Amino acid sequence: MWFWLFYTPSLLITLIIVYIIGFTVMLIGAGYIAPRVARRVAKKFSLQASMLILGLVVILSGIAGVGIVAYVLMEFLDVEVTAGFILSILLLVLILNIVTYLLSPFMINVMYRARKDPQLQHIVNEVARAVGFSKPPKAVIVEAPPNAFAYGNILTGKYVAVSRSLIEITTPEELRAIIGHELGHHKHRDDAVMLFMGLIPSLLYFLGITLVRIGLISGFARSVTSRRREGGGGLVLVLAGLVAVVVSFIIQILVLAFSRLREYYADSTGAYATSPRAMQRALARIHVYYSGVPRAREEIAKSKLKALFIYAFTETYANPFYSYRPVIDPRSVNIDRVVEELKRIQTEDISEFLSTHPPVPKRIRFLDTLYYYRRG
């Protein structure tokens, strides 16, 4: 019976419908609801308060979603079986994420041909001391389009990776700002924080899909101890699974918003390590490059590691996002003029709310508010 559970046409059709509904809800939320809520929240709360509020909303929404699933299941199963079912799904999701977390540094080192570099390590050491690290992360150069990212775990230690091409197009001060941004991710423990946040929608999604599968088994409601033997239990489980999947998509929007707030937080560390202007110039320099090199932009868009990158706001619905069209070589532009032009650009709402990173114009405008970090 469990073999056919994965291959019945009714299951496939139902799952496709569930996915379409969930994705539609996510698009509506990202395109119409999220922008309005975000604007109101941004006007009333600081960055730290916004992260705290949004984090609590994600956690409480996840608890509520799991509670609804448990309530529906207890209509057909006893408490022990329901708890065992939910815990088994949680354990599965947890194991998958932990294995990925533990193996990813090794995979990154191989995929990007990471190599230690004494000169880069010296810069990382200096910036790390400036932002309060007692033990600087390892610095490696990777072969990739201009980008930088922070990664690592308890087995491998912390890494800051910078692509060779990024070093070539940035000034020393801009490079220090970028490294400060990546050190900010380590300082704020973003790898562990986002791992935890990502578990919540994943748990609800797998619970929902499993409920749909169980609900489609013929005669399920009459084959277990039930308080509703008149039938219809399978339909109830399918509907409950549908709700769980839709809720998981909604929570995923919130997790993406939380990720964008963490990027602003890391930008503030980069600004503290150097100056807000240096961080703005660095972001603008990288943006100039990707605006003029579509193939590199596509490579970032397809990367499964793009959530780690300092620049990952890539085109999904429009090409390009911004009307500004700079020259290809970022070293030959008046970067301060580019910064000012980017500040005036309005971005596409739906594109931003489906991304792990804020658009560069918003990040540049945010850095203007960091007057406490201005130096000289």
**DSSP readout, 205-240?**
HHHHHHHHHHHTSTTHHHHS--S-TTS-HHHHHHHH
- Enumerate the domain spans of the chain: 2-106+196-257
C-beta of residue 152 within 8 angstroms of C-beta of residue 105:
yes
- Exposure string over 328-357, b if 16+ CB within 10 A, otherwise e: eebeebebeebbebbbebebbbbbbbbbbb
pLDDT digit string, tens, across residues 215-252: 777 444 444 444 444 555 677 788 888 888 888 988 98
Mean pLDDT of the region 352-366:
87
State the pairing for strand pair 115-116/138-142: antiparallel
For residue 308, name the pLDDT band (cuts at 50, 70, 90): very low
Write down the pLDDT at residue 159. 95
Q: Which two tokens stand for residue 19?
A: 């996915």
Q: Kindly tell me if the per-residue pLDDT of 296 is higher than 50.
A: no
Lowest mean pLDDT among 77-91, 93-107, 184-198, 303-317: 303-317
Q: What is the pLDDT of residue 327?
A: 47
Angle (nearest 5°) at CA 315 between 311 and 320: 105
Active site residues: 182
- Long-range pairs for 170-174: beta carbons < 8 A, 24 or more residues apart: 170/146, 170/282, 170/285, 170/286, 171/281, 172/123, 173/274, 173/275, 173/278, 173/281, 174/278, 174/281, 174/282, 174/285
196-205, 290-299, 360-369: least confident range: 290-299
- For residue 116, what is the enclosing H or E element? strand 115-116
Q: What is the pLDDT of residue 53?
A: 87
SS3 62: helix
pTM: 0.80
Pairing label, strands 157-163, 138-142: parallel
Between CA 276 and CA 278 the distance in angstroms is 6
Fill in the DSSP letter of residue 31: I
Q: What is the pLDDT of residues 146-204, one digit of tens each?
A: 889 999 999 999 999 999 989 999 999 999 999 999 999 999 999 999 999 999 999 99
Q: Is 48 helix (H, G, I), strand (E, B) or coil?
A: helix
Give me the half-sphere count of Cα atoms (radius 13 Å) on the Cβ side of residue 29: 19
Per-residue model confidence as pLDDT tens digits over 36-62: 555 565 556 678 888 888 899 899 989
- Higher-pLDDT residue of 350 and 260 is 260
For 205-209, 353-357, 365-369, which range has the lowest pLDDT when averaged over its residues?
353-357
Q: Cα–Cα distance between 200 and 58 in angstroms, integer?
A: 8
What pLDDT does residue 306 have?
A: 46
What would the mean pLDDT of 65-74 be, rounded to a whole number?
Answer: 84
Closest to 147 measured CA to CA, from 259, 337, 305, 367: 305
List pLDDT tens digits, range 269-287: 999 999 999 999 999 999 8
Query: pLDDT value at position 184?
Result: 96
